[in-house]
Amino acid sequence: MGGHLKFHFFMGPEPSDVYKQISDVIGRPAMPPYWGLGFHMCRTETEEGKGTKAIEEMIGNDIPFESDCGSAAFSGQLLEQAPIDLSKTFKQNKIAPDHSIRALLVQVPYRKLDDKVVEWQSFLLQNDANPSKPFEGQFFDWWKNSDEKDNLTVVYPIYMDVGAKSTANLLEAELTKIYGISDEFDGIDGIFLDYNTPIDLTPNVSKTCATFLANHKWNEYNSIELNRYTPCLDFLYPNKLSHLSQHNLYGHQHMEQMRKAFTKYYTSSTIAKIKKRPLIMSLSTFMGSGRYGGHIGTNMNATWPMMAQTIFQTLEFNLYGIPLTGFPVCGFKGELPDDDLCIRWYQLAALQPFMISHRDFAQKLTDPIELFGDGNEKELDFIKSSIVIRYRLLPYLYTLFYGAYKTGEPVVRPLFYEFPADNKTHRIDKQYMWGPALMVTPVTEPNAKSVGAYFPKGIWYDYYSGRRISSKSGQSANLSAVMSNINLHVRGGHVIPTQLESNNTALSRKQNFVLIAALSQEDRKAEGTLYIDDGISPMPDDPTKDLPHLSATIVVTAYNSTKNDDNHNNTITITVEGDLTYKDEDPNSPLAMVDIIKVFGVIDPMDPPEFNITIGSGNPDTRNANTQETHRVAVECANRAKKIADKPYD
């Protein structure tokens, strides 16, 4: 069939070197908005008031969530080119505290053949048999018949040339026309690009793609399969490039154009100049698509093997330079077999980079209220606890994404990335790391009472209790598989920043920070970083520059009574260094406070322990605390006040 192959060899030698070398070629991933890392719920109803019950009950049950995601039915507005007042459609957003529920849409890259926007006619895929008119494909009219998928009518779409430079301008004009920013509606916050492989459901491939098949008689069967469910590969775009050469890049280019369109959409409003960092997610992606957004994998059935498959697919997409990756919780389609699967899937999804409930048409929704909101309090609490854990860990996750944005390092990592010399980690695909510090061990089988885990060499601490596991040379263990939470372990020598949860990120960002310091065995020290910005402003075009932000390195060191050190006997030293002067102009922005520090690994009795706390260039402040294995210390960076916290951290 022709074409060009270009090979790159990445010499490492370590896995971490390979990841960074790949990102040097394909580009660094975009920094997502902070709220984009929360939990998103999609629905298929578009009528005013629909979805209000789920939103009200999520808020009433104190279950964090981030967005009201209008499913692909909203895309019908694009096909029809009809304006829609989304201030009414997303009216329930006003129910939330601070009116902070985000508005997300699902969009497809198709237009109707009789599209009245004449500008599109110059940017369409052309029919090889009749170059004077655009190719006319087939697609189900879900927007007219969302309840009966088996009896759907067919629409005849045309396919935009997403590679044309002017496409972004046309997309921006559509966004402004159909989803215009007003005093009542401050615009769409993000978009999911669906069915952008692109898809064509024309049944008779042999007839429609006759010219392509005639030119490839040597392998007619495979040629037919290559052209199935997509436009014929020899059809041409206006730039004279064939669909064969564009097919694999179609979703990638669609993302690029949509990100440009959103930038113009926010800044061209006559009402106000909106300061937003868009969330762009796409079904179809390619190496380096992370520069424009993330990947959402929708073709997942509600089965245990499919749930397990999301783990290694997430790891793969981090290698592809797309760290913002997620899969619809409980699957995108298929009957839900039992409650066990959805509870375990929620636990897993809460510890993946992107979390969403999103179902195909005429399928039962899988948001927490739809699943367990009718009297199933125990099951609802299990799901709530999973989402709560995610929201508490968002400061750490956001810091990891900043690392990916700056250096290309993966957010989610296989164990061999952190432990390349341990051969046993090379075959593990059902455990993974969040950054260097947090190991995740999900349950991926039904009716499990325990789950096998491998602990590479080092000291590990149970995230919930601080219980220590010492692995001298790498060891396996069976962990309890309780339904109430997923197994998480903090790696010794690291500090993980967390926050108490709220109903959404707009509220949780106002909470004080809680640092978990897991001491190493060798030098009884823990170190970590924390990155904070306003979470919504567009990142600078120059990657060497930053937004106003707080960036801190936290070092916690414990000295015990067995050490003959007159200067440090029975002390814990806490040092917070970095740029601690950040304060956003928004009065509702976080004040960058560290409220509690939990220290894992203080075994020797201290009577009482003494804390030396240094913030920035300030002088050390010495305090005493009651003896306990996990010490809780409050440090308020905003005014340099320092105190011992008298409240537990649950």
Q: Say which CATH number the domain at 486 has.
A: 2.60.40.1180
Is residue 632 predicted with pLDDT exceeding 50?
no
Within 13 Å of residue 511, how many CA atoms lie on the same side as its CB? 22
In this prediction, residue 239 carries a pLDDT of 82
The answer to whether 301 touches 337, Cβ cutoff 8 Å, is: no
- Please indicate, yes or no, whether residues 418 and 449 belong to a single structural domain of this protein: yes
Give me the mean pLDDT over the 271-289 stretch.
Answer: 85
Per-residue confidence band for 560, with pLDDT thresholds at 50, 70 and 90: low
642 forms beta bridges with 635
| CA separation for the pair 587, 581 (Å, rounded) | 15
- Please indicate, yes or no, whether residues 481 and 540 belong to a single structural domain of this protein: no
Domain boundary residue among 456, 491, 526?
Answer: 491
Residue 337 vs residue 431, higher pLDDT = 431
Arithmetic mean of pLDDT over the chain:
80
| CA separation for the pair 532, 630 (Å, rounded) | 26
Each residue's pLDDT tens digit, 459-502: 999 999 999 999 999 999 999 999 999 999 999 999 999 999 99
Is residue 646 predicted with pLDDT exceeding 60?
no
In this prediction, residue 154 carries a pLDDT of 65
Each residue's pLDDT tens digit, 115-171: 556 667 777 888 766 667 788 888 766 545 444 444 445 666 778 889 888 889 988
At 524, the amino acid letter reads R
| CA separation for the pair 614, 551 (Å, rounded) | 16
The DSSP annotation for 297-365 comes to ----BSSHHHHHHHHHHHHHHHHTT---EE--TT-SBS----HHHHHHHHHHHTTSSSEEE---TTS--
Give ∠ CA 170-173-174 in degrees, rounded to 5.
90
- Please indicate, yes or no, whether residues 467 and 521 belong to a single structural domain of this protein: no
Q: Assign residue 549 the CATH number of its domain.
A: 2.60.40
| Range with the poorest average pLDDT among 23-32, 317-326, 365-374 | 365-374
Domain boundary residue among 491, 520, 547?
Answer: 491
- Going along 26-79, which residue ranges are E strands? 39-43, 67-70
What sign does the CA torsion over 46, 48, 53, 56 have?
positive
- Please indicate, yes or no, whether residues 543 and 620 belong to a single structural domain of this protein: yes
Show the domain range for 623: 512-643
Show Cβ contacts of residue 414 under 8 Å, excluding neighbours closer than 6 positions. 15, 315, 425, 428, 429, 432, 433
Q: Please check whether residue 445 lies inside any domain of the structure.
A: yes
| CA separation for the pair 307, 327 (Å, rounded) | 9
Is residue 416 predicted with pLDDT exceeding 60?
yes
Q: Please check whether residue 329 lies inside any domain of the structure.
A: no
**pTM for this entry:** 0.89
Backbone angles phi, psi at 619, to 5 degrees: -80, 150
Going by DSSP bridges, is the β-strand pair 438-441/450-455 parallel, antiparallel, or unpaired?
Answer: unpaired
Show Cβ contacts of residue 3 under 8 Å, excluding neighbours closer than 6 positions. 244, 245
How many domains, in total, are found in the chain? 2
Q: Please check whether residue 546 lies inside any domain of the structure.
A: yes
Q: Which residues of 464-503 are buried (b: 16+ CB within 10 A; e: fewer)?
A: eebebbebeeeeeeebebebebbbbbbbbbbbbbbbbbbb
The answer to whether 313 touches 285, Cβ cutoff 8 Å, is: no
Is residue 631 predicted with pLDDT exceeding 50?
no
Is residue 545 predicted with pLDDT exceeding 70?
yes
